[in-house]
Amino acid sequence: MDVLNKNIDRSWIDNCNNPFIISGPCSAESKMQIFNTANGLLKNEGKSYVHAFRAGIWKPRTKPGNFEGIGIEGLKWLREVKKNNGIYIATEVANKEHVKLCINHDVDILWIGARSTTNPFLVQEIADSLVGQNDKIVLVKNPIHPDIELWIGAVERLYKKGIRKIGLIHRGFYTYKSLKYRNQPNWKLVLEIKNIIPEIPILCDPSHICGNRDRLFDISNKSIRYFNCDGLMIESHYDPSKAWSDSNQQITPDILLDFLKSFYSNSNKDYITKNQRDLESFRLLIDELDENIISILSERMNISRKLGIIKKNLDINILQPNRWNIIMKQSINLGKDLGIPEQLLKNIFKLLHQESIKIQNKTMK
């Protein structure tokens, strides 16, 4: 990792003093949509805020039957945006064909999507097809699930093939039933990966973390101020309500530019020390854990309700002392290895058990 750290080429990101901003629609849809969005972002002083224009050309969709990307035609529109505005263009690649077409169309920034990062075969295929393309910037989105080794593994595969302008994109992690986010930030992993590869640039993608527009700028601010992210990838569309994919999370170019302007004008005033930053970032880690605890509590209560009905059908008592003893014992044992005091677990599980009995009594009636 030391060699990799030493040889990562940060020039593309360090050359711009401010956060590096990639923006543009989730998917390329039509020439009119690409040009309207790009013009909105890059008009007047927009070019000093936005450094790269993005659009998905091939879209990985969870279910078949949705729009799966416009394909090669869209690459021509992107190339025109680059020619007209002199900025980087960026898109997602998921196999060697995509890479080849991107090279042919002068795409500057290629990113590996969250679903592809989970698959070492695909990452290797992409890395192999990039041999000799040392000027390309290649960004690796975090895998869908919080596996930091897989994320680093993808970086290593690219590095071994000679790519040096490598960066990361933090787009959040899938969790079953997240209360607030489309993909939970799991900020802890950002801290961990920065610890392992401190030199690698990291951009935050608040669009795919939030899944809607409500917290986009809150997450953007936090990623840069408290987690030292080097930039953002934010989805924008000239008319988000008409977007063919991720309509709920896209914003208009004007809204993005307003945010970036106020961010820049405040960033000098808002200087914070390392201790202040650590305080805020650790508070966010606690908030996330609390969110998980609440989500798990609600799951537990739902199951208690179902148990009440089953016990009524079986005509057995709600209180089953054997079962209760087993729960208490196994929890204390699990906690012991993790350094959690026995009394704390006893108190917590007593409360949980009392609540569970109350719920079951209610459903039995």
Where along the sequence are the contacts to ligand PEP (CB under 6 A)?
Answer: 26, 56, 60, 92, 113-115, 141, 171, 208
Q: Closest distance between ligand PEP and the C-beta of residue 96, in Å?
A: 18
131, 103 contact by CB (below 8 A): no
Q: 3-state DSSP: the chain helix, strand, coil percent, rounded to 5?
A: 55, 10, 35
Cβ nearer to Mn ion, comparing 40 with 211:
211
Whole-angstrom CA distances from 201 to 106, 107, 115, 150, 278 are 22, 19, 21, 17, 19
Shortest separation between residue 71's beta carbon and Mn ion, angstroms: 17
Distance between CA atoms of 360 and 54, rounded to whole angstroms?
Answer: 52
Under a CB-based contact definition with an 8 Å cutoff, are residues 105 and 78 in contact?
yes
**Residue 114 binds which of Mn ion, ligand PEP, none (CB < 5-8 A, kind-dependent):** ligand PEP
Task: Decide whether 136 or 208 has the Cβ nearer to ligand PEP.
Answer: 208
H or E segment at 103? helix 96-104
82, 246, 356, 359: residue in contact with Mn ion (rule CB under 5 A): 246
What is the residue-wise DSSP string for 237-299?
A: -SSGGG-SS-GGG-B-HHHHHHHHHHHHHHHTTT---HHHHHHHHHHHHHHHHHHHHHHHHHH
> From ligand PEP, Mn ion, none, which one binds at residue 113 (CB under 5 to 8 Å depending on kind)?
ligand PEP
**Measured from the CB of residue 215, what is the shortest distance to ligand PEP in angstroms?**
16
Task: Find how far residue 26's CA is from the centre of its chain.
Answer: 14
> What is the number of other CB atoms lying within 10 angstroms of the CB of residue 175?
16
Cα Rg for the chain, rounded, in angstroms?
24
Measured at CB, which residue is nearest to ligand PEP?
113
Q: Is 295 exposed, middle or buried (CB count within 10 Å of its CB: 0-12, 13-18, 19+)?
A: middle
Supply the minimum distance, in Å, between the C-beta of residue 320 and ligand PEP.
45
Instruction: Give the shortest CB-34-to-Mn ion separation in angstroms.
Output: 15
Q: Considering CB distances under 5 to 8 angstroms, the limit depending on partner class, which of Mn ion, ligand PEP, none binds residue 222?
A: none
Minimum CB distance to ligand PEP smaller for 110 or for 359: 110
The span of 70-78, 245-253, 297-305, 310-318 binding Mn ion (CB under 5 A) equals 245-253
Please say which residue, 56 or 201, places its beta carbon nearer to ligand PEP.
56
Name the minimum Å distance from CB 127 to ligand PEP: 17
Q: Output phi, psi for 73, to 5 deg.
A: -55, -40
Select 114 or 193, whichever has its Cβ closest to ligand PEP.
Answer: 114
Only one residue has tokens 């394909």, namely: 71
Interaction pattern, residues 18-37, with Mn ion; x per rule: CB under 5 A: --------x-----------
| CA–CA dist 253, 268 (Å, integer) | 24
Closer CB to ligand PEP, 40 or 206, in the complex: 206
- In whole angstroms, the minimum distance from the beta carbon of 115 to Mn ion comes to 12
How many residues at the interface with Mn ion, by CB under 5 A?
A: 2
Which residues contact Mn ion by CB under 5 A?
26, 246
